Structure 1
Amino acid sequence: MKTQFVLSLVLGALISTSSAHEHGIRKRHRLNDPAKRIYIEKEPIEPQNLYTRANSSSSSSSNSTSTSLPKAPSSEVTTISKPIPKPLDLSISPSNLSGGCLTYLTSLLSSDDLQDCLPLSLLLTTSSAYSSLLSSSIQSGNYTKINNLISYTSSSTRDKCDEYFTSIQSSLSSNKNCGTDLSNKNQVVKDTQIAIGNYQLIKEASELVDEETGVYCYIESMAATRPDDAYLWSLPSGIPLPSTSIPTCSSCSKSLLNTYMSYIPDTSTLNSTIVKSAINRVNDACGQGFVNLSAIAVSGTSAGSISIPPYQAYVLIGGLMSILSLMSI
């Protein structure tokens, strides 16, 4: 049984504060009330000790029971069982989008190309169906569907999708499509733009496998008893690492952050300030040089300017909170 502990996360600080390759193991989040606090009754832990980590690069991911998790498939998964989660399943409506943008996104979501190139980056941040699937997997301890989904979305047959998503990123911002919505800072469209821009990054990150266990790093993070490593997967969406959280000194943490770092120079949708801040925190805990910062050129976007609006909070933060609460069951 997983160790139970007391953990209270104040989401208001994330939602409203207007302040915040290496390939050694490469292979090939979100639905409940965002104001929910996480707590478990047993074995209270002093706050100052809650996130203490050993300074070891070999520590496993947040006390996860990796031996009970499915290994990454030895051959690529080419079909997945239905229902297949869809992106933007709660946010396409005339009430929050201009006419041109509504028409564009509706057409995009129904296109064969998008369905064939099923982007994990969009599922992670805009899909309530995916959030429900992940929450159900955590609650049941059965990650088979998530395992197959990752293999499917990151398979080599999807390499052709890189150029496709580059073209979508351009057409999305056209004034006849969603350019006006972006100028008006429509959060649904901004989240979509970031997820599309991060397509290649998330596809590559999702391929990372813990060489010791053979399990996808993403699944290990979600299955862990502590939330720290799970937070790393929110960094590309512009959500800073919570101030009290320190991810583990695992090979997965190291490889994931190095993957982010390698994409910073060419990925305008990846906030380098937020990534660098997280890396500094990990290096403070795991030893300077655990993750190499030399490739990072910090952009003008500051973590202090990040705010998390209600829609993204609902899908991304709210679901992560439900996920984290399930981690401690």
Structure 2
Amino acid sequence: MFTPPPSPLPFKSSELLKLEMTNDTPTHANPSAFPTCSYHSKQKYTLTLRWTIILVPITLIAIGVSTRLFIHPMAFDAFSPTPTYGWKSWTKSLTDWSLHEKHKPIENLLQLAVVSDTSTSPFIKRSTLPATPTPTPTVPVNPTLPTPFPQPYDTTLSSHFSTTSCYNFFLNMTQTDALRSCRPFSLLLTHSQAFIQEQDDINATNTDIWGTCNTNISSNQCDLNMAWFASSLRSSCDTDLSEQNAMAVSALTGLQAFDLMRQAACSVDPVANAYCYIEAVASSDPSSYYFYQLPLGLAVPQITSGACNSCTRSLMTMYSTALSSTNATSLAGLQATYGDAATKLNNVCGSPYAQSSTVASSSAPPGVELTSVGGTWAVLLAVGLLSTSISS
């Protein structure tokens, strides 16, 4: 009889094979002598992670430095150490591989504590300073003024106010002829986008300064107008001032420094027959320019010998005289900045360069501790504003 061959062994699954291999392992074997695949993976992952933590920051820093020093694709700007991109601009920049010129050195920028967005700060960043001195134009004679003339708060007012009354005050003030016709340099310097942009054109800026010095109404009437606005601001923005709202505080400081800063802007260098402010703007060294911001509470940073000129000396004398006058209590911004500025100027230019006598400093931020306007004075201001509106 035919005997069939033995049946084939059943197929062993991978799980069964692993089980048999495990059972075949000697019981006396040291488990640590058989490292698993999982252990190798974890070790490799840890090593990779360590190198990533070290190399990624170094790479980003190198890219950031290269964006400042060399010509590079514009897409690299997205990785700059000081990015200025929003999300949409950042993603868009990644697709732009066209080349552009290397970045200008940071030293050529006027280092103000300011930003271009007035919704979060009242200050506007000034444009890049010229790499070489620009020829300074002389004081113009009856120039044609731009139409419209640059005005403060020419961008959309933000709603970052604590009270509606303060917001409404700013809306009304910026639209009234009593403010606009006086062309206040103290507010144009930090609150006018048009005025800041025109500083790229020294001749246009020269015309603007002439316009601030030669208004259709008298300087005395403008003084009354600004004092009235300052008084109204203190009333309408009382809560915002107490909470140190930047827009309210800086506006009050600028309104109270109107007369002093108008004198500063209109000061003329008799030798060159040019506005001292225009000479500061035209210079490639911003040292002199810094001193025009002192009444606004903006401190002078480190300066060079470029500030050692007759215009700066005259400006500091003007400030010192103002701080010795009866109006000194309303110049909180200048009180807070003059002493340090005089010390720095004397250290660079020589001890007798600026009056360094002790100046009463205000512990409160500029524009908070201010003198009040009495009832009779307020009536006179109101009459002055009314006569201005009728004459215009």
TM-score category (smaller protein): 0.5 to 0.7
| CA separation of 1:159 and 1:146: change in aligned 2, threshold 3 A | farther
Q: Is the 8 A contact 1:246 1:281 kept in 2?
A: no
Residue 291 (str. 1) matches residue 350 (str. 2): no
Is residue 184 from structure 1 mapped to residue 243 from structure 2 by the alignment?
yes
| 2:137 matched residue in structure 1 | 70
> Are the structure 2 counterparts of residues 31 and 242 from structure 1 closer, same or farther at C-alpha, using a change threshold of 3 Å?
closer
CA shift at 1:103, angstroms? 1.1
User: Are 2:153 and 1:88 aligned?
Assistant: yes
One-letter amino acid matched to 2:241? L
Deviation digits for residues 264-322 of structure 1 (CA, Å, limit 9, x no counterpart) = 2423233324212111111122222122234x5322338xx89xxxxxxxxxxxxxxxx
Distance 2:196 2:293 in 1: 14
Give the match for residue 233 of structure 1: 292
* Stretch moving more, 202-211 or 284-293: 284-293
1:172 aligned onto 2:233: yes
The CA deviation at 1:200 is: 0.5
Counterpart of 1:98?
Answer: 163
Q: SS of the counterpart of 1:301?
A: coil
Quote the offset at 1:179 in angstroms.
1.2
Higher RCO by CA contacts (8 Å cutoff, separation 6 or greater): 1
- Is the counterpart of residue 147 in structure 1 residue 206 in structure 2? yes
Q: How many aligned residue pairs are there?
A: 249
Contact conserved, 1:97 with 1:181, CA < 8 A, in 2? yes
Conserved in 1, the CA contact under 8 Å of 2:186 and 2:257? yes
Q: Is the 8 A contact 2:303 2:344 kept in 1?
A: no
CA shift digits 1:149-169 (9 cap, x unpaired):
212212373332111111211
| Alpha-carbon distance in structure 2 between the residues aligned to 1:12 and 1:69 | 22
Matching of residue 161 in structure 1 with residue 235 in structure 2: no
CA contact (8 A) 1:125 1:191 kept: no
Following superposition of structure 1 onto structure 2, how do residues 1-329 of structure 1 map, counting pairs within 5 Å?
8=107, 30-31=124-125, 64-65=133-134, 68-74=135-141, 80-90=145-155, 92-96=157-161, 98-134=163-199, 136-137=200-201, 143-155=202-214, 157-174=218-235, 177-243=236-302, 245=304, 247-265=306-324, 266-267=327-328, 268=330, 269-294=332-357, 297-301=359-363
Equivalent AA in structure 1 for residue 225 of structure 2: Y
Structure 1: tracts of 5 or more residues without a match: 16-28, 41-62, 138-142, 307-329
Q: Which runs of 5+ in 2 are unaligned?
A: 1-103, 115-122, 367-392
- 1:214-247 Cα offsets, whole Å, 9 max, x none, are 1101011011011111111222221211135555
Instruction: Tell me the distance in 1 between the aligned counterparts of 2:282 and 2:181.
Output: 28
Does the 8 Å CA contact 2:138/2:275 hold for their aligned counterparts?
A: yes
* TM-score with structure 1 setting the length: 0.66
- 1:85 maps to a residue whose letter is P
Tell me by how many angstroms 1:194 deviates: 0.8
- 1:162 partner letter: D
Contact residue 239 and residue 274 of structure 1 kept, 8 A: yes
Residues 241-265 of structure 1 deviation map (CA, whole Å, 9 limit, x = unaligned): 1135555210001011111222224
Shift of 1:90: 3.2
Query: TM-score normalized by structure 2?
Result: 0.56
- 1:228 touches 1:245 (CA, 8 Å); kept in 2? yes
Q: Which has the higher helix share?
A: 2
Structure 1 residue 91, shift from structure 2 partner: 5.6
Superposition deviation, residue 102 in structure 1:
1.3
What is the RMSD computed on CA atoms of the aligned residues? 3.2
